[in-house]
Chain A
C-alpha cells in the first residue's frame, strides 16, 4: 500500500498514484500528498490503475481531495480504476460528482 506523488513543472498538475489496497490506513499519507499543493486552478489526477481494492473510507478521502481542489478552483480526475474499484465507484455514483477517465 503506497501513495506516490508526481508534480508537473508548473505545479499545476498533481498526479497521486495509489498502489494496493486503498483504505483508511492510507488516510494520513493521502492527505499529506495534496495538502501542501495550494496553487489556484490545480488539476489533481488520482491514478488508480494499481489500486486493487477500495472501501468507503477511501471514497471519503477522495471527497476530501475534491473539497481541497474546489477551494483552489481546481478539479479532480479519477484515472484508470481496475474492474473491482470501478464497481465501487459505480455503486457510489462517483461519476456524477467528478470525471472518471479510462
Chain B
C-alpha cells in the first residue's frame, strides 16, 4: 500500500456524466484542486474506467444512458477493496428526499445538488477527501495490527504448544474464538515419568486474555522438569497469576498428574467445568468439580486447597474441558450442555478418538452460529506411559573397590546433606533442592531422571511410613487408597516432631560415576525380616496399588539396603557414560 501511495503523488478523479459540458466544468474545478481528471459519458464506461485507473475520487451523475448512476455506484463500491475508500459523490439536479436516500443506499458517500458555487463544490471535495484519508489510515493501522497479531500468535503458539509433551498420545481440541485463544493446553514430563497436564481458561478471549500464557507455560514446564510436586506447581502458578494479572483477569484451570507407576491420578480443579474420569467402556467413573476459586484471584491458595487422588486403570481416560464447549450455542440459542458432551465423549472413548467425536458433535450442533468463546478439550490416556519413561537400568560396575567401603565417603567429590524437622517436613520438598544441587555441580544429564525417582520414592517412604507411621497395607485396596491420602494429609497438617535426613555423596569414575544416598527417619522402623518375607510371598501377578515404588527403586539401584531396624536406607546409583 505504501508503495502505491508514494508512486502516486497526483490524485486522480473520475467524472461520470452524459453531458460533456458538465464533465468539462467539473474537470476544471477539480484540476484547480490538484486532481488529474478522466471522464466517462455513461455508467458502464464509468465502471470500466474505474477499473482501469483506480481513481481517488468519483463524481457521478444519476440519470445516464446504458447504465444509470446508482447501478454504476453499486458496481464501483463492490469493486473497491483494500485500504482505499474511493469516495463517490453524486452530482444531481434532483433536489428530492428520494434522490438523497437512494444515492446513499447505492453506496454514495455524499450528494451535491445543482446549482452550486465553485466554492461549495471545492469545500465538499475537501471534506470528502478528509474522510477518505481517515478511512485509509484506519485501514492501514488495521492491517498492520492484524499482521503483528498473526506474528505474535505464531510465536506464542510455537513457544506454548510445540513444546508440549506427548502430543501423539494426548488428544487436544483447540478452537479459538479470535486469533488469540484465551485457553491454554500444557503437558510436561516429570523426572519420575509422571505426566503433568494443565487446561487453563483466561478471562475473556483475544490478545488481552493471552498475556499470561507465556509465563504460565514457562512456570509449568520448568517446575515439572525440576520435579516439583503438583501442589507446589499449582501454588506457584496461582501466586504468579496474582502478581501478573489485573484484578479482573484470572485463570480458570484444571491440573492433572498421571502417575503410572503409582496407578493414580492427582486432580485439582479451580474454576473449570467438572473433570471427567472415563473407563475403557466409556462409562463415567468419577467427576471432579471445581473446589477452588480460579488462579490469580487470591495471593495464596485457600487453606483447604488440596489435590484429589484417585486410583486409575491403564485404559482409563481423564478428560478436561473449558466452558466454551458446554456453553456453545446453536441458532435457536440453546446451549450444547453437559449431556451432549458426555454422550459424544463416551462415543469417542469407545471409538478411540475423543477429540474428534466431541468436535464433530459440537460443530453439528452449532452449525453456522459464530463461535462466542474459546473451545478446548484435553483427553489423556492413563496408561501406556511406561515406554516413554527412559529407565536407566543400574549399570553393573565392577572395579577393585571393596563393596564394604561403599558408604565410606572419603573418596567422594562432594557431599550434600539436608535434615528437615517437624513442620518443615510438610511444607518443604527437599527433592528439587537435591536435584538442583546435582545439576548445578555436575550439569544437566539424562541419567538424573532415575536418581530423581530413587530420591523421591525413598524420601516419600521415609516420611509416610517412617515419620507419619502410615501403613502401606491400606493402599492395597481402592477405598483404602483414598483413605490413605486423607490420613496422610491430616497427619501432615499437625506434624511438629520428627525428622528426615538426606545425605548424598558423589563419586566420579573415569566414565560415569556413583551417587550414594542415605536417608534416615525418626520413625519406629519395621521388622526387616517380615519385610523381606512379605516381598518373597508377594510374587503373584495380581496388580497391586502399593509397593510398586520400591520395586522400581530396586531396579534402578546398584544396591539398596535397609539398616537400623528399617529407619535408615542406603542406596547406591551407578551410571556409565
Contact = CB atoms under 8 A, between A and B. Distances in A.
Interface of A: 24, 55-57, 59-61, 63-64, 67, 90-94, 96-97
A91 B273 contact: yes
B248 A61 contact: yes
Interface stretch (B2-10, B290-298, B378-386, B493-501): B290-298
A85 B413 CA distance: 63
A67 B247 contact: yes
- Most A CB within 10 A of own CB, among B248, B270, B289, B290: B248
A88 to B, nearest CB: 8
B201 interface: yes
Given A56-B204, A90-B290, A96 B247 contact: no
Contacts of B294: 59, 92
Nearest to A61: B248
Given A67-B247, A92-B294, A94-B293, A60 B252 contact: no
Given A91-B252, A92-B271, A93-B292, 5 more contacts: A55-B373, A59-B250, A92-B252, A92-B294, A96-B292
Nearest to B271: A92
B201 A56 contact: yes
A60 B293 contact: no
B250 A60 contact: yes
A92 B204 contact: no
A57 B248 contact: yes
17 contacts: A24-B204, A55-B373, A56-B201, A60-B247, A60-B249, A63-B247, A63-B248, A64-B248, A91-B273, A91-B290, A92-B252, A92-B290, A92-B294, A93-B270, A96-B302, A97-B297, A97-B298
Contacts, number: 55
B269 to A, nearest CB: 9
Contacts of B302: 96
B293 A96 contact: yes
Secondary structure of the B side of the interface?
Answer: loop
A60 B290 CA distance: 17
Contact of A92 (B247, B249, B293, B373): B293
A56 B291 CA distance: 17
A92 B295 CA distance: 10
Nearest to A84: B335
Interface residues of B, number: 23
B89 interface: no
A93 B290 contact: yes
Nearest to B291: A93
B308 to A, nearest CB: 15
Contacts of B249: 60
B248 A60 contact: yes
Contact of A63 (B289, B297, B323): B297
B463 interface: no
A93 B293 CA distance: 5
Nearest to A68: B247
A90 B272 CA distance: 10
Contacts of A56: 201, 203-204, 250, 252, 323
Interface in B261-304: 270-273, 289-294, 297-298, 302
A61 B203 CA distance: 10
B242 to A, nearest CB: 12
A90 B293 CA distance: 9
A63 to B, nearest CB: 5
Contacts of A90: 289-290
A61 B248 CA distance: 6
A96 B250 CA distance: 16
Contacts of B247: 60, 63-64, 67
A87 to B, nearest CB: 10
Nearest to B249: A60
Contacts of A55: 373
Contacts of B252: 56, 91-92
Contacts of B291: 93
A2 B264 CA distance: 48
- Most A CB within 10 A of own CB, among B291, B293, B302: B293
A97 B201 contact: no
Interface in B315-351: 323
B181 to A, nearest CB: 14
A60 to B, nearest CB: 3
Contacts of B271: 91-93
- Most A CB within 10 A of own CB, among B203, B249, B291, B302: B203
A90 B270 CA distance: 11
A58 B28 CA distance: 60
Nearest to B273: A91
A61 B249 CA distance: 9
A57 B273 contact: no
Return the 5 tightest CB-CB contacts between A and B, nearest first.
A60-B248, A93-B293, A91-B290, A56-B203, A60-B203
